[in-house]
Structure formats: structure tokens, C-alpha cells
């Protein structure tokens, strides 16, 4: 019975861990702001269609802030762990 040997040293480089992604605070802030602004805009449209723009903006902000936090978490979860 013959044992299988690794005879190509180039194969060993494939086993290294990839570099850890970096966290970019400016990118995270822009993603949070953009997601929140989009949600506030959508809420404003819904509120305007329903007849009360203020409540639509408020509802969009209430939904948008957690949505922005979740978007930042999913985008940067490799860096945060």
C-alpha cells in the first residue's frame, strides 16, 4: 500500500486564510444614512398618499433606523466578528 504525498508546494498557499476585511466607518455611516433616508422618503410618500405627511415621515424614520443598523451589520459582519 502506497501513501499519497503532497509533492507540489504551490498547493500549500491555497490553504492560507484570506486577509480579514477592514471596517470602514465612513462607508458604514453612509450606508446607515442612505438606508434611513430611503426609508423616510418611502414613508413620506405613503404618508402623503394617506393624507398625513408627518406621520409618514415618522413611520419611515422608525423603520429606517433599525433597517440601517441591520444593513450595516450584514455589510460589515466579517469585520465585526
What are the sequence ranges of the domains in the chain?
23-80
Structure confidence at residue 20 (pLDDT): 73
pLDDT in tens, the chain (81 residues): 556 555 555 555 556 677 777 888 899 999 999 999 999 999 999 999 999 999 999 999 999 999 999 999 999 988 877
**DSSP secondary structure string, the chain?**
--------GGGGGGGSPPPPPPP-HHHHHHHHHHHHHHHHHHHHHHHHHHT-HHHHHHHHHHHHHHHHHHHHHHHHHHHH-
What's the pTM? 0.72
Predicted pLDDT of residue 39? 97
Q: Convert the pLDDT of each residue in 39-55 to its tens digit.
A: 999 999 999 999 999 99
Amino acid at each position: 500500500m502506497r501513501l499519497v504525498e503532497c509533492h507540489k508546494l504551490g498547493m500549500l498557499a491555497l490553504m492560507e486564510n484570506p486577509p480579514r476585511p477592514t471596517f470602514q466607518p465612513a462607508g458604514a455611516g453612509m450606508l446607515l444614512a442612505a438606508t434611513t433616508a430611503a426609508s423616510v422618503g418611502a414613508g413620506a410618500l405613503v404618508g402623503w398618499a394617506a393624507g398625513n405627511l408627518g406621520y409618514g415621515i415618522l413611520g419611515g424614520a422608525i423603520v429606517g433606523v433599525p433597517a440601517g443598523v441591520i444593513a450595516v451589520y450584514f455589510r460589515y459582519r466579517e469585520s465585526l466578528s
